[in-house]
Amino acid sequence: MTKKALTQFTLLITLIAISAGAANAQARRKVTLEASVPFEFIVGNRVFPAGTYTFEMATGLPKASEQAGVLIVRNHERNLYTAVSTGIIADGNAHVAPKLVFLRNGDHVFLSKVWRQGNLAGLSVPNVSGGEMQDWQESQVLTLDAVAIGTI
């Protein structure tokens, strides 16, 4: 193979690799939900006041075969932000609309799950302040509708 042909072959392989990477990045594009939360809530170790928030699935749409994701919670008016590592939870039915699930235990409300419409898997947010959420007795489930923005 001549030097010119080798250079052209290398360029072609590089372009194919870049195209494949761009296609994979497009498939894993972040998903953002927006919701008005009418109560104070906790994500990770941070307390957020009532307000309008964006909830970004930074690692893209979760798949049931995956084990972890990243959720970014933002309030632009008050300049609040947190990012947490999440688990992935599967549901037997695709969700009709984006949903946020909170658990109230006593005086505290914790963000528990984030679901995007049409998806069988969602993000499960860990609770850092006292045990597994499933073990809580007398906890109340609060579900809020969200709006998908900038989705695939």
Q: What is the pLDDT of residues 32-82, one digit of tens each?
A: 999 999 999 999 889 999 999 999 999 988 888 888 999 999 998 889 999
pLDDT at 66: 87
Q: Which residue type occupies 120?
A: L
**What span, in angstroms and rounded, lies between the C-alpha atoms of 26 and 11?**
22
68-91 as b/e: b if 16+ CB within 10 A: ebebbbbbeeeebebebebebbee
pLDDT at 26: 42
Dump pLDDT digits (tens) for 105-131.
888 999 999 998 888 899 999 886 554
Per DSSP, the three-state class of 7 is helix
